[in-house]
Amino acid sequence: MERSGQARLIRIEDPSDPRIAEFTAMRDRDLAGRGDLFIAEGKVVLQALLDAEAGSRRFRIEKALILENRIDGLGNLLDRVDPGCPIYVAGRVVLDAAVGFAMHRGILAVGRHVPATSFTDFLSHLPEQALLVAACGISNHDNLGGIFRNAGVFGADGVVLDETCCDPLYRKAIRVSVGAALRVPFCRAGGIGELIASLSAHGFEVAGLSPRGTEPLSSYVPGKRLALLAGTEGEGLPAEIIERIKTLKIEQAPGMDSLNVATASGIALWHAAARMGRAI
- Given the rule CB under 8 A, which residues bind a copy of itself? 142, 146, 149-150, 152-155, 178-180, 218, 250-254, 256-260, 262-263, 266-267, 270, 273-274, 278-280
Which residue number, 48 or 110, has a Cβ lying nearer to a copy of itself?
A: 48
* Residue (136 or 262) nearer to a copy of itself, CB: 262
By three-state DSSP, how is residue 147 classified? helix
Which one, 155 or 191, has the nearer CB to a copy of itself?
A: 155
CB of 47 to a copy of itself, least distance (A): 11
Shorter beta-carbon distance to a copy of itself: residue 160 or 180: 180
Residue 59 near residue 112, CB atoms below 8 Å = yes
Shortest reach from residue 51's CB to a copy of itself, in Å: 11
Q: How far apart are CA 61 and CA 198, in angstroms?
A: 31
Provide the 3-class DSSP secondary structure of residue 86.
Answer: coil
Judging by beta carbons within 10 Å of its beta carbon (0-12, 13-18, 19+), is residue 206 exposed, middle or buried?
buried
Least CB distance to a copy of itself at residue 181 (A): 12
Whichever of 95 and 156 has its CB closer to a copy of itself, that residue is 156
Output the smallest distance, CB 116 to a copy of itself, in A.
Answer: 22
Least distance (Å) between residue 221 CB and a copy of itself? 14
- The contacts of residue 95 (CB under 8 Å, 6+ apart) are 15, 65, 67, 104, 106
Q: How far apart are alpha carbons 276 and 221 in whole angstroms?
A: 8
To the nearest whole angstrom, how small is the minimum distance from the Cβ of residue 48 to a copy of itself? 10
CB of 71 or CB of 132, closer to a copy of itself: 132
SS (H, E, C) 13-68: CCCCCHHHHHHHCHHHHCCCCCCCEEEEECHHHHHHHHHHHHHCCCEEEEEEEEEH
* Of 213, 254, 270, 266, the residue nearest 237 (C-alpha): 213
